[in-house]
Amino acid sequence: MFNPPYPRDRKDEIFDLIEELMTIGKTEDFLSEHPGGAFNRQCRHKRAREIGEQLNEIGKYELMEFVYEKIRKKLGNAIGDHLEFAWVSIGEWMA
């Protein structure tokens, strides 16, 4: 049986965060060529980073990897690569 990398009582919260990341990935991307607006000085999506920090607090690297794989499978490798880079230095993510 699959043991998810998050507490059962937080499943709805986790899947809401995944849906929010999906929307960001589809409509704005996780990276930009220029800072400003939804993107920080490193051209990484601010809200995507906030979500990454939340996921790290809840389930550390294992949960972030779980969510990253869901995004990559749903939106493709290129967008997955952008999320991977947007999360640099959150917890143990590509630290």
Cα 6 to Cα 2, 45, 54, 63, 91: the distances in Å are: 12, 24, 12, 6, 16
Q: Is residue 36 part of a domain?
A: yes
pLDDT by residue (tens digit) across 37-85? 999 999 999 999 999 999 999 999 999 999 999 999 999 999 999 999 9
* 48: nearest Cα among 76, 4, 10, 79: 79
Query: What's the predicted TM-score (pTM) here?
Result: 0.94
Domain that holds residue 62: 10-86
Q: Is residue 3 part of a domain?
A: no
Q: Is residue 30 part of a domain?
A: yes
Q: Which residues contact 91 (CB under 8 A, 6 or more apart)?
A: 53, 56, 60, 61, 64
